[in-house]
Amino acid sequence: MNELIAIFIGMALINNIILVQFLGLCPFFGVSKKLGSAVSMGMAVTFVMSIASVTTWLINHYILIPFDIEYMYIVIFILVIATLVQIIEMFIKRTNLALYNAFGIYLPLITTNCAVLGITLIILYQEYSFLGSVVAPLGGGLGFTLVLAMMSGIRERLELANAPKAMKGLPIAFIIAVLLALAFSGFGGMI
Amino acid sequence: MPAKEALKKAFPVILLTVVVAVSVTLLTFTDRLTREKIEYQREQKIHRMLFEIFPNMSQYTLENDIYTIYSDGAKVGYAFIAIGKGYGGKIDILVGLEDETMIKGINIVSHLETPGLGARITESPFTNQFTGLDIANVALRQDGGQIDAITGATRSSRAVIEAVRTTAMEKVKLLKDSEEGE
Amino acid sequence: MGKFGKEFAKGLIISNPVLVLALGLCPTLAITTSIDNALGMTLVVLVVLVGSSTIIAAIRNFVPSIMRIPIFIVIIASLVTVMDLIFQANFPDLHVSLGIFLPLVVVNCIILARAEVFASKNPILHSIADALGITVGFMLALLMISSIRQILGTGSLSVFGFDFFTLPVLGKYPIAMFILPPGAFLIIGLLMALFRWRGVMKSE
């Protein structure tokens, strides 16, 4: 149990998926200018990450390892994620239109979001247990959503700030990220 | 021509199948070519590291994850891999024991710690501190032991130390049990 | 040859994939803790990008548009796996220190973007030139960031075990923050601003 809590907190805060692991930076710097869309994007990513982590864990342990084809993991994992995203998108579109409108538009972007493939690889490399593969994406997703939401709030106000011309936009966003990352490194002492 | 129509519809599927088939063949082929070398690299690395800890080693045997080290036929020590949980992830540590209480030396096999900080666990000023210690005394100075942590990387240092101590205790117990059984 | 040279040159500065287009940020920030890592990552991207561009340019006329992305992904993922195995066999230490960012080259936006935007529409030779230019641009960015981070963060410069120099004061008291995540964001942010500032000067 302690182990699982450590994984959760580690993924969400200490080794934050964006600020420490550097995964999912494109949405972090790209689309995060509105708080609402940042939260929806975060939820969509968490959802896909959770399903992808469990699926790839099962595939790894019941197909790749028994058949001794572990070297195929990159191809298999990315295809599984791409397929999952397609299925989830179709499923949500047919069953729950409100949900689809909320975060369906972000789904196609998620296939190439390195946070999703990244978390499945972390689970593989760190040899997490099955429960670990359930908890890790929840923690990672929470950390992702949290930082994305913080960033969007800051950037909304940043639009009005009088930054030097060359610093406007992306460079100043990186400087904000420096401050966020410094703040998050304070969580390091938690476990 | 219905046959041609069907072929046109099936073409994307056939194409994808061909691409996947080619890819699988390529990967299987690469795996065949590299597998032996990957195994060999791993063995070489362990061998080299065992040799660094036991310079007089002439051969070693591996049983139940414990390496028994021989020098000219005489048993000179044991070694095993301890796994620590560092800042960046797993740390694999090769631990050599002189006898059932004293550490002969350690070597970091692999780790994912931050370069320049936690990664300094691999450097000799840190690893040399373990040599000659009693297993029970493996602890950081601030925890009442004799080992100095790396500046700015207490967590990585502690991860190594904890893993060495707990795994060493386990393995020594195993060794003693198996000797009693003989 | 003129076209070849042009496709090659544009990736270096004007449309530097990392510092101007802001593509492939994840590996750039994560692995620039040392120059060794930067060179290792460049080698992976070189082989995968040139390989995928060549193959995709060669088959571009047979691939129906709906199947484009899945086929590209399979091709790229296969090439990455080949590099993963080759690194494991020949450079085990580098393989460990690149960690998950070696397999993550699959979702590196630079590679998929070049496949989509360029290689699927242009002949083989131009696609190779484009891929080479982009890789060199990628390498320049990685080398700039990693050498600054390594020198400030460890106080010394060493590449694959060869020590070049150790700075007098920094060698003893390195500014560890530059090796840590905040340093990565800082250096890349400032370099981007520098590239923009040069651009601003020219356009005005």
**A168 occurs within a structural domain:** yes
Q: How far apart are CA A114 and CA C164, in angstroms?
A: 35
Domain count, chain C: 1
Distance between CA atoms of residues A7 and A132, nearest Å: 7
Which residues of chain C are within 8 Å of residue B26 when distances are taken between CB atoms? Answer: 78, 82
Cβ distance A75 to C77 less than 8 Å, yes or no, reads yes
Give the residue, B157 or B12, on which the prediction is more confident: B157
**Residue B133 in this model has a pLDDT that exceeds 90:** no
Domain annotation covers residue A151: yes
At CB < 8 Å, which residues of chain A contact B? 71-72, 75, 122, 125-127, 188
Nearest chain B residue (CA) to C98: B112
pLDDT at A143: 93
Binding partners of A (≥3 Cβ pairs within 8 A):
B, C
Q: Which of A110, A112, A117 to mutate to test the interface with C (most CBs of C within 10 A)?
A: A112
Q: Cβ C107–A113 below 8 Å, yes or no?
A: yes
Residue A52 lies in a domain: yes
pLDDT, average across residues B169-176: 84
Total number of domains constituting chain A = 1
d(CA C62, CA C112): 18
Chain B residues whose CB is inside 8 A of the A71 CB are: 27, 30-31
Cβ-defined contact of A188 to B155 (cutoff 8 Å): yes
From first CA to last CA, the distance across chain A in angstroms is 14
The percent of residues in chain B predicted with pLDDT above 90, rounded, is 2
Q: What is the DSSP annotation of C94-132?
A: HHHHHGGGTGGGGG-HHHHHHIIIIITTS-HHHHHHHHH
Packing angle of the helix pair C35-59, C68-90 (nearest 10 deg): 140
Type of residue found at C67: M
B78 or A112, which is more confident?
Answer: B78
Average pLDDT over residues A57-75: 91
Residue numbers of C between 105 and 144 with CB closer than 8 Å to B: none
What whole-number distance in Å separates Cα of residue A42 and Cα of residue A22? Answer: 15
Mean pLDDT of B57-74: 82
Tally C-beta pairs within 8 A across A and C: 116
Tell me the CA end-to-end span of chain B in Å, nearest whole number. Answer: 81
- Contacting subunits of B (3+ beta carbon pairs below 8 A): A, C
**Where in the sequence is the domain holding A172, given as residue range(s)?**
2-186
Determine, for residues B16 and C153 on separate chains, whether the beta-carbon distance falls below 8 Å: no
What is the rounded average pLDDT of the residues A111-137? 89
Distance from CA of B103 to the nearest CA of C (A): 26
Amino acid, single-letter form, for residue B6: A
| Section A44-57 average pLDDT | 92
Provide the mean pLDDT of chain A: 85
Please report the pLDDT score of residue A57 as a whole number.
Answer: 95
* Lowest-pLDDT range of A73-77, B5-9, C122-126: B5-9
Question: Which candidate from A71, A122, A125 shows the least CB-CB separation from B27?
Answer: A71
pLDDT exceeds cutoff 80 at B95? yes
> CB A112 to CB C77 under 8 A?
no
**Which residues of chain C carry a pLDDT beneath 50?**
1, 203-204
Q: Which residues from A are below 8 Å from B87, CB to CB?
A: 188
- Going by pLDDT thresholds of 50, 70 and 90, the confidence category of residue A25 is confident
Rounded to the nearest integer, the mean pLDDT of chain B is: 83
- Tell me the residue range of the domain where C154 lies: 2-203
A77-114, pLDDT tens digit by residue?
999 998 888 888 888 888 878 777 766 667 777 777 78
Is there a contact between C81 and B42 if contact means CB atoms under 8 Å apart?
no
Residue A3 pLDDT: 79
A12 secondary structure, DSSP code = I
Mean pLDDT, rounded, for B156-162: 88
Residue C196 with chain A: CB contacts under 8 Å: 165-167, 171
Per-residue pLDDT of A135-180, as tens digits, reads 999 999 999 999 989 988 888 888 888 888 888 888 888 999 999 9
Residues 6 or more apart from A176 whose CB is under 8 A from it? Answer: A151, A154, A155, A158
Smallest CA–CA distance, residue A31 to chain B, in Å, is 28
What value does the mean pLDDT take over residues A33-55? 86
- CA–CA gap between residue B180 and residue B105 (Å, rounded): 26
Task: Please report residues of B whose CB lies closer than 8 A to that of A127.
Answer: 90
**Which residues of chain C neighbour B117 with C-beta distances below 8 Å?**
176, 179-180
Q: What is d(CA C186, CA B29) in angstroms, rounded to the nearest whole number?
A: 43
What residue spans define the domains of chain B? 1-53, 59-181
Backbone φ and ψ for B68, nearest 5 degrees, come out as -105, 125
For tokens 């790229």, name the residue: C76
